Amino acid sequence: MPIFSITLVPQWLGLKGVVVNISIGQIAESVFILPGYPFIAGVISRIIGLKTLGRQWYEEKFIPKISPITLIALLFTILVMFSLKGEYIVQCLSTLCV
At 48 the pLDDT is 93
Compute the average pLDDT of residues 52-65: 92
At 74 the pLDDT is 82
Q: At what angle do helices 37-53 and 63-97 cross, to 10 degrees?
A: 170
Contacts of 22 (CB under 8 A, 6+ apart): 3, 6, 7
pTM assigned to the model: 0.52
Compute the average pLDDT of residues 27-49: 83
Contacts of 24 (CB under 8 A, 6+ apart): 3
At 18 the pLDDT is 55
The per-residue pLDDT for range 59-79, each reduced to its tens digit, is 999 999 998 998 898 888 778
